[in-house]
Structure 1
Amino acid sequence: MKFEIMRDWLLEGLNDVMKAISQKVTNPILTGVKIEVNEKGLTMTGSDSDITICTFIPVEQDGEQIIRVVESGSIILQAKVFSEIVRKLPTNDVTIEVENGMQTQIQSGKSEFHLIGSNSDDYPVLPNVKDEYRFSLPADLMKTIIRETVFAVSQQETRPILTGVHWETDEEKLVCVATDSHRLARREIQPENMPESPFSVVIPGKSLQELNKILPDNGDVVEIVIADQQILFKSRNVLFYSRLLEGNYPDTSRLIPSEYKTSVQVNGRSLLQAIDRASLLAREERNNIVRFSADSGKVIEISSNSPEVGKVEELIEAIDVTGEDLKISFSAKYMMDALKAIDGQDIAIHFTGAMRPFILKSADSDSILQLILPVRTF
C-alpha cells in the first residue's frame, strides 16, 4: 500500500474517526484505526463496538487532487499515535507506505516515522444495515433535535433504557423523547419522507452527543437508516453507526398533564438569567433549589435561600399570568437546561399544582416540550 495525501484532509477525516475510538475496549484491535485506500479514495474506520465511524476522502474533489494512489491496500495503525503524528507533521504533503508486511512509513518534509501496523483482516466487519426504515433530515435540524433532548437522558446505568433518546413515529410525526424520571424533553417534527412502517428505537445519548460533534452546521442532508439493533447516519463523506438500546421505553405520554391550574407567559431569556443569578446561592445547597411564586399580578418572584450564605429575591415582569396563585420549588439546573433548549423565545409555563409536574413550551409552537418535577420545600 502506498499513497500521497494532503495533511489537512487526512487530519479532518481522522478527527471524526477518533470520536469512536476508546482506550477502554475489550478487543485491543479497536484501539487502532483501519485505513483502506483504493483508486476511489481513502476510507478510515474507528469503533468502540457501540459506535462505529467511517470517513471517506475522495481522490479528487471539485477538480482538486487530494490523494495520489500508488498502490491499493489496507492496514490498522495505533489510532492515538497515528493521530498525534499527523497533527504534528511539518508540511501538508504526506506519503504513507506499507512494506515488508506491516511496517508503515509516514513521511512529510524531512520527518519520517516508522510504525508497526496490524492486519486489517482482524478488524470487525461493519454492521450490516438493511434499508428497513429510511428517511432524511437536514444536518442543522438534526443538531437542534439532539440539543433539545439529549441533556435529559439519565446518567445512571440502573435503568439503561433511560440513558437513550426514544425516537418513534406517530402518524406523520417523528417524536423524540428523553427522560431521567425527574424531567422530560420532547421534540416533534414532520420529516418530508417518513418511512411507511412505524418504528420505535432508543438511541444511546452518548452516541447522539458524538454525532452532534461531527454533523455540519448547515442544511446538508443526513440520511438515516434504521435496522435491527443498529442505526446509521450518513452525512457528506461520513458514516456513523450506533447500536440501539434494547428494552421497552416507558410510555411518557401519560406524564404530560392536559389540564392546568396556573399558566404563565414570560420572556425565556429574562427568566433564564434570573434563575441563573438565584442559583448562585442555591448551588451551596445540595439540591440547587430555586423557588418560583406567581399571583394574580403580572410579577413573578424568583428566590433562593441558603442558611450559610444568604438569600436572593428577584422580581420579573410576566407577559401574562392566569389561574390560581402558585408557589413552587424546582432544581435550578433542570429549569435552566429546559429554558436553554427552548432558546430564549417567549415561553408558556403550565402548572397543575405545587407538587405536580409542570411543562414549558415555546409560546409560538408546540413542537418543543419540557417537563420538570418540582421539589417539596414549602
Structure 2
Amino acid sequence: MKFVIQRDQLIKSVQDVMKAISSRTVIPILTGMKIEAKQHGITLTGSDSDISIESHIPAEEDGKVNVEQIEEGTIVLQAKYFPDIIRKLPEKTVEIESDENLKITIRSGKAEFNLNGQDAEEYPQLPMLQTDESFEIPTDLLKSLIKQTVFAISTMETRPILTGVNIKLADNKLSFTATDSHRLASREIPVKEANIEFQSIVVPGKSLNELNKILDDTEETVEISVTSNQILFRTKHLNFLSRLLDGNYPETSRLIPEQSKTTLHVKTKELLSTIDRASLLAKEERNNVVRLATKDDSNVEITSNSPEVGTVAEDVTIQSMEGEELKISFSSKYMIDALKAIEYDDVKVDFTGAMRPFIIRPAEDDSILQLILPVRTY
C-alpha cells in the first residue's frame, strides 16, 4: 500500500475517526485505526464496538487532487501515535507506505517515521446496513435536534435506557425525546418523503454527542438508516454507525400536562441571566434551587438563599401573565439548560401548580418542549 495525501485533509479525517477509538476496548486491534487505499480514495475507520466511524477522502474532488500515487492496500495503525505524528509533520503533503511485513513508513519533507502496523484482516467487519429504508434531513437541523434534547439524558447507569435519546418517525414526523426522570426535552420536525417508519429507537447520548461534534453546520443532507440494533448516519464523506440501546423507553407523553393554571410570557435572555445570577448562591447539595414568585402582571421575582452564604432577589420584567398567582422552586441548572436549548427570543412558561411539572416552549413554536419537575423546599 502506498499513497501521497494532503496533510490537512488527513488531519481532519483522523480527528473524526479518533472519536470512535477507545484505549479501553476489550478487542486489542480496535485501539488501532484502519486505513484502506483504493484508486478512488482513502478510507479511515475507527470503532469501539458501540460507535464506528468511517471517513472517506476522495482522490479528487471539485478539480482538487487530495490523494495521488495510490497503490491499493489496507493496514491497521496504532491510533495512539498516528494523529500526533500527522499533526506535527513539516510539509503540506504526507507519503504513507507499507511493506509486506506490515511496517509503515510515513514521510513528509525531511521527517520520516517507521511504525509497526497490524493485519487489517483481523479488524472486525463493520455491519453493512441496507440503505433502501432510509430518510434524509439537513445536517444543521439534525445538529439542532441533538443540541435541544441530548443534554436531558440521564447520566446514571441504573436505568440504561434513559442514557439515550428516544427517536420516533411516524406520519412523516420525526421526534427526539430525552429525559432523566426529573426533566424532559423534546422536539418534533416534519420529514418529507420518508419511506420508513419506526415507533421507538433509543440512540446512546454519547453517540449523538460525538456525531454532533463531527458534523459540519451545513444545509447538505444526512441520510439516516435504521435496523433492529444499529443506526447509520451517512454524509458525503462520512459513515457514522452506532448501536441502539435495548429496552423499552418510558411513555413520556403522559408526563406533559394538558392545561395550565399560570402562563408567563418572557424574554428568554432576561430570564436566563437572572436565574444564572440567582444560582450563584444556590448551594450544590440543595440541587441549586431557586424560587420563582409572581408579583403582578408585569413582574416575577427570582430568589435564592443559602443559610451559610446569603440571599439574592431580583425582579424579571415579563411581557404578560395569565392565570393564578404562583410560588414555585426548581433546579436552576435544569432551567438554565432548558432556556439555553431554546433558540428563540421569547418563551412561554406554563405552570399547573407549585408541585406539578411545568413546561417551557418558544412563544411561537410548539415543536420544541422543555419540561421540568419542581423541587419541594419544605
**Above 0.5 in TM-score?**
yes
* Residues 249-277 of structure 1 deviation map (CA, whole Å, 9 limit, x = unaligned): 00000000001111111111100000000
Task: Report the equivalent of 2:46.
Answer: 46
Alignment of 1:69-88 (within 5 A): 69-88=69-88
Counterpart of 2:286 in structure 1: which amino acid? Answer: R
Q: Note if contact 1:52-1:242 (Cα within 8 Å) is conserved in structure 2.
A: yes
Mapped partners of 1:100, 1:112: distance in 2? 19
Task: Report the equivalent of 1:370.
Answer: 370
SS in 1 for 2:276: helix
Task: Report the equivalent of 1:22.
Answer: 22
Task: Report the equivalent of 2:155.
Answer: 155
Task: Report the equivalent of 1:255.
Answer: 255
Counterpart of 2:234 in structure 1: which amino acid? Answer: K
Mapped partners of 2:69, 2:58: distance in 1? 11
Mapped partners of 2:28, 2:85: distance in 1? 20
Task: Report the equivalent of 1:314.
Answer: 314
Mapped partners of 1:303, 1:342: distance in 2? 23
Q: Note if contact 1:131-1:227 (Cα within 8 Å) is conserved in structure 2.
A: no
Deviation at 1:129, TM superposition (A): 1.1
Counterpart of 2:223 in structure 1: which amino acid? Answer: E
Alignment of 1:285-296 (within 5 A): 285-296=285-296
Unaligned runs of 5+ in 1: none
Alignment of 1:202-241 (within 5 A): 202-241=202-241
Task: Report the equivalent of 2:281.
Answer: 281
Mapped partners of 2:195, 2:176: distance in 1? 15
Counterpart of 2:298 in structure 1: which amino acid? Answer: K
The CA RMSD over aligned residues, in Å, is 1.2
Mapped partners of 1:318, 1:309: distance in 2? 29
Deviation at 1:283, TM superposition (A): 3.7
Counterpart of 2:232 in structure 1: which amino acid? Answer: L
Q: Note if contact 1:30-1:48 (Cα within 8 Å) is conserved in structure 2.
A: yes
Task: Report the equivalent of 1:347.
Answer: 347
Mapped partners of 2:286, 2:196: distance in 1? 48
Mapped partners of 1:70, 1:349: distance in 2? 60
Counterpart of 2:99 in structure 1: which amino acid? Answer: E
* Residues 114-167 of structure 1 deviation map (CA, whole Å, 9 limit, x = unaligned): 000000000010112123631011010011000000000000010110000000
Mapped partners of 1:144, 1:330: distance in 2? 25
Counterpart of 1:312 in structure 2: which amino acid? Answer: V
Counterpart of 1:303 in structure 2: which amino acid? Answer: T
% identity of equivalent residues? 54
Deviation at 1:238, TM superposition (A): 0.6
**Which stretch has the larger CA shift, 274-283 or 191-200?**
191-200
SS in 2 for 1:239: strand
Q: Note if contact 2:161-2:202 (Cα within 8 Å) is conserved in structure 1.
A: yes
* Residues 166-207 of structure 1 deviation map (CA, whole Å, 9 limit, x = unaligned): 001242311110000000001000011223434321110000
Mapped partners of 1:288, 1:2: distance in 2? 57
Counterpart of 2:270 in structure 1: which amino acid? Answer: S
Q: Note if contact 1:295-1:324 (Cα within 8 Å) is conserved in structure 2.
A: no
Task: Report the equivalent of 2:244.
Answer: 244
Counterpart of 1:293 in structure 2: which amino acid? Answer: A
Alpha-carbon spacing, 1:49–1:123, altered in 2? closer, same or farther (3 Å): same
Mapped partners of 1:274, 1:174: distance in 2? 34
SS in 1 for 2:195: coil
* Residues 321-343 of structure 1 deviation map (CA, whole Å, 9 limit, x = unaligned): 11111000000000000001113
SS in 1 for 2:356: coil
SS in 2 for 1:30: helix
Mapped partners of 2:150, 2:168: distance in 1? 15
Unaligned runs of 5+ in 2: none
Deviation at 1:284, TM superposition (A): 5.1
Task: Report the equivalent of 1:330.
Answer: 330
Q: Note if contact 2:34-2:46 (Cα within 8 Å) is conserved in structure 1.
A: yes
Mapped partners of 1:359, 1:310: distance in 2? 29
SS in 2 for 1:144: helix
Q: Note if contact 1:38-1:69 (Cα within 8 Å) is conserved in structure 2.
A: no
Q: Note if contact 1:55-1:238 (Cα within 8 Å) is conserved in structure 2.
A: yes
2:204 is the alignment partner of 1:197: no
Q: How many residues align?
A: 378
